[in-house]
Structure 1
Amino acid sequence: MLRRLLLVSALLFLAACTRAPLVTPQEVFPADRTENAADVRRAIVDTLERRGWSVGQESPGLVVASIVVRDRHQAWVDIPYSTKGYQIRYRDSAGLDYDGERIHRNYNKWVQLLDADIRRQLQLPAPAADAE
């Protein structure tokens, strides 16, 4: 009985260690920059495709994308954009243990890499270290 209790405790501990608060990157373009919405969309779509995400439905000002990793982890994001900025918003997931606040840390890594590459493509500065 003690062995089972220890095993369950260890599994719960490991599960908690792989989750982190959900990250939602948002970029507001500097006031002195005017971006063309088509250029912002192109940077988003090019980055998604280069990073292995699938671009789903699109409408003016919104890109919906998904990624499947090792056939058991899936994530869907909405990326609203305009001439003033963009945001990468969580939409849904499977296999990432999202509980409304915390999610598997790999999701955050995927989203942060997307954000960094979109910034690079648009030639934007890196976010301040305390931006999150």
Structure 2
Amino acid sequence: MNNVAKLLTALAIMGSLAGCARTAPIANVHSTVSSGHTQSQVKNAILKAGQERKWIMSEAAPGVINARQQSRDHMAEVRINYTATSYSITYANSQNLKASGGKIHKNYNRWIYNLDKDIQLNLSAGSDL
């Protein structure tokens, strides 16, 4: 009985440590935009979402926005390519986010998914763009 308790304790510790992993695969977002939007509206939805989430956004070229998120001593940079029918958010660079071997601190993915969610919300609101 004592060995079973030790085994269960060891399994519980290993499971909790695995659940606390600080890194995850780097997320890249590829989203389609419903018809009826112009490229300008998609751009405005991206810029508005970035501003709401405190990303520093700069237009790099037509259809391309570079964005930077700074949180204390952590920084992430992404490239957002967009058209009237789609957009993508792609990892570009980071500091202090444990980026290595295709993995990164899980906060990066949360930042990206929140930005994507807000872009989608802005596009669905539509009329303010």
CA-to-partner distance for each residue in 1:74-110, whole Å, 9 max, x for gaps?
Answer: 0000000001100010000000011131100000000
Q: Compare the two structures and name the one with the higher helix fraction.
A: 2
CA distance in structure 1 between the partners assigned to 2:58 and 2:44 by the alignment = 14
Distance 2:86 2:36 in 1: 10
Residue 28 (structure 1) aligned with residue 36 (structure 2): no
How many angstroms apart in 1 are the aligned matches of 2:61 and 2:102?
28
Query: The residue matched to 1:83 in structure 2 has which SS?
Result: coil
Gaps of 5+ in 2: 1-16
Where in structure 2 are the equivalents of 1:5-16 lying within 5 Å? Answer: none
Deviation at 1:34, TM superposition (A): 3.3
Instruction: List runs of 5+ in structure 1 lacking aligned partners.
Output: 1-12, 125-132
- Once residues 50 and 63 of structure 1 are traced to their aligned partners in structure 2, the CA distance between those partners, rounded to angstroms, is 16
Task: Provide the TM-score with structure 2 as the length reference.
Answer: 0.78
Q: CA RMSD in A?
A: 1.8
Counterpart position of 1:93: 94
Task: Determine the structure 2 residue equivalent to 1:122.
Answer: 123
One-letter identity of the residue aligned with 2:55: W
AA aligned to 1:26 is H
1:55 matched residue in structure 2? 57
Indicate yes or no: 2:109 matched with 1:108: yes
Specify the code of the residue in structure 1 equivalent to 2:76.
A
Q: Which whole-Å CA distance do the structure 2 matches of 1:52 and 1:68 have between them?
A: 8
Q: 2: CA distance between counterparts of 1:18 and 1:103?
A: 8
Tell me which of 29, 40, 43 is aligned to 2:42.
Answer: 40
Q: What TM-score do the two structures reach when normalised by structure 1?
A: 0.76
Alpha-carbon shift at residue 59 of structure 1 (Å): 1.4
Q: Distance in 1 between matches of 2:98 and 2:37?
A: 36
